[in-house]
Structure 1
Amino acid sequence: MKTQDLLAIGLMTFALFLGAGNLIFPPSMGLEAGTNLLPAMMGFLITAVGLPAFTLIVLGRIANTNNLTKSLPPWLGQTFWVLLFTSIGPAFGMPRAVTVAYEMGIKPFVDGDYLLVFTLIFCAVTLLLAFTPGKLVDYIGKFMTPALILMLIALSVAALISPLGAPQLPSADYQNSAVTHGLIQGYMTMDGIAAVGFGWVIIQAINAKGVTAPKDVARVSLYVAGIYAVLMGACYLAMGYVGATSSTVANGATNGGEILTLYVHGIFGEYGQVLLAAIIIMACLTTTVGLTNASAEYYRSSFKAPFALTSVIVVTLTCIVANFGLAQIIQVSLPAILLLCPIAIALVMASFVSSINSAFKPSHVSVLVVTLVFGALDALSILDLMPSVAHSQLQDMLPLYNAHASWLIPCLVVLSVNSLRSFINQQKTCTA
Structure 2
Amino acid sequence: MKTQDLLAIGLMTFALFLGAGNLIFPPAMGLDAGTSLTSAMSGFLVTAVGLPAFTIIVLGRIGSTNNLTKALPKWLATTFWVLLFTAIGPAFGMPRAVTVAYEMGLKPFFKADHLVAFSIIFSALTLLLAFKPGNLVSFIGKVMTPALILLLAGLGLAAFFSPLGLPAAPYGDYQHSAVTSGLIQGYMTMDAIAAVGFGWVIIQAIKAKGVISQKGIASVSFKVAMIYFVLMGGCYIAMGYVGATSTSIATHGMNGSVILTRYVAGEFGAYGQWLLAAIIIMACLTTTVGLTNACAEYYQQTFKASFGFTATIIVVLTGIIANFGLNDILKVSLPAILVLCPVAIALVFASLTASATHVSTLTHTSVLVTAMVFGTIDAVSILGKMPTDLNQFFNDALPLYQAHASWLLPTLLILFMTTIMGRLPIVARKFNVVDYRLDSVTNN
Q: Shared topology, TM-score over 0.5?
A: yes
Equivalenced residue count is 429
Q: Secondary structure at the match of 2:91?
A: coil
Partner residue, 1:180: 180
CA contact (8 A) 1:361 1:419 kept: no
Partner residue, 1:98: 98
Partner residue, 1:378: 378
Change (3 A) 1:251 1:221: same
Q: Secondary structure at the match of 2:355?
A: helix
- Distance in 2, matches of 1:10 and 1:172, equals 37
Partner residue, 1:87: 87
What are the equivalent positions in structure 2 for 1:12-51 lying under 5 Å apart? 12-51=12-51
- For residues 158-186 of structure 1, what are the alpha-carbon distances to aligned partners after superposition, in whole Å with 9 as ceiling and x for unaligned? 11111010000000210111001111111
- For residues 20-78 of structure 1, what are the alpha-carbon distances to aligned partners after superposition, in whole Å with 9 as ceiling and x for unaligned? 00000000000000000000000000000000000000000111101111111111100
- Distance in 1, matches of 2:186 and 2:88, equals 18
What are the equivalent positions in structure 2 for 1:72-221 lying under 5 Å apart? 72-221=72-221
- Distance in 2, matches of 1:298 and 1:15, equals 20
Partner residue, 1:404: 404
Change (3 A) 1:383 1:319: same
- For residues 379-422 of structure 1, what are the alpha-carbon distances to aligned partners after superposition, in whole Å with 9 as ceiling and x for unaligned? 11011111100001110110000011101000000101111222
- Distance in 2, matches of 1:133 and 1:16, equals 14
How far off is 1:253 after superposition?
Answer: 6.8
- Distance in 2, matches of 1:377 and 1:427, equals 31
Mean CA deviation greater in 378-387 or 10-19: 378-387
CA contact (8 A) 1:91 1:330 kept: no
Partner residue, 1:293: 293
The gaps in structure 1 that reach 5 residues or longer are none
- Distance in 2, matches of 1:362 and 1:369, equals 11
- Distance in 1, matches of 2:428 and 2:282, equals 57
How far off is 1:426 after superposition?
Answer: 9.2
How far off is 1:326 after superposition?
Answer: 4.6
How far off is 1:362 after superposition?
Answer: 6.8
How far off is 1:372 after superposition?
Answer: 1.0
Partner residue, 1:337: 337
Change (3 A) 1:428 1:399: closer
- Distance in 1, matches of 2:325 and 2:255, equals 22
- Distance in 1, matches of 2:327 and 2:235, equals 29
Change (3 A) 1:351 1:103: same
- Distance in 2, matches of 1:197 and 1:92, equals 13
Q: TM-score, normalised by structure 1?
A: 0.97
Structure 2: which amino acid aligns with 1:23?
L
Change (3 A) 1:198 1:428: closer
Change (3 A) 1:370 1:359: closer
- For residues 240-259 of structure 1, what are the alpha-carbon distances to aligned partners after superposition, in whole Å with 9 as ceiling and x for unaligned? 00000000012477200000
Partner residue, 2:441: none
How far off is 1:188 after superposition?
Answer: 0.7
Q: Secondary structure at the match of 1:90?
A: helix
CA contact (8 A) 2:58 2:352 kept: yes
Change (3 A) 1:253 1:335: closer
CA contact (8 A) 2:422 2:428 kept: no
CA contact (8 A) 1:68 1:348 kept: yes
Partner residue, 2:66: 66
Partner residue, 2:438: none
Q: Secondary structure at the match of 1:356?
A: coil
Partner residue, 1:239: 239
Structure 2: which amino acid aligns with 1:302?
T
Partner residue, 1:364: 364
- Distance in 2, matches of 1:322 and 1:235, equals 27
How far off is 1:378 after superposition?
Answer: 0.5
Partner residue, 2:389: 389
Percent identity between the aligned chains? 67
- Distance in 2, matches of 1:172 and 1:250, equals 16
- Distance in 1, matches of 2:171 and 2:325, equals 35
Change (3 A) 1:389 1:253: closer
- Distance in 2, matches of 1:329 and 1:361, equals 35
Change (3 A) 1:387 1:134: same
- For residues 118-164 of structure 1, what are the alpha-carbon distances to aligned partners after superposition, in whole Å with 9 as ceiling and x for unaligned? 11111010000000100100010000000000000011111111101
How far off is 1:361 after superposition?
Answer: 7.6
CA contact (8 A) 1:354 1:361 kept: no
- Distance in 1, matches of 2:43 and 2:366, equals 30
Q: Give the RMSD, CA atoms, in angstroms.
A: 1.5
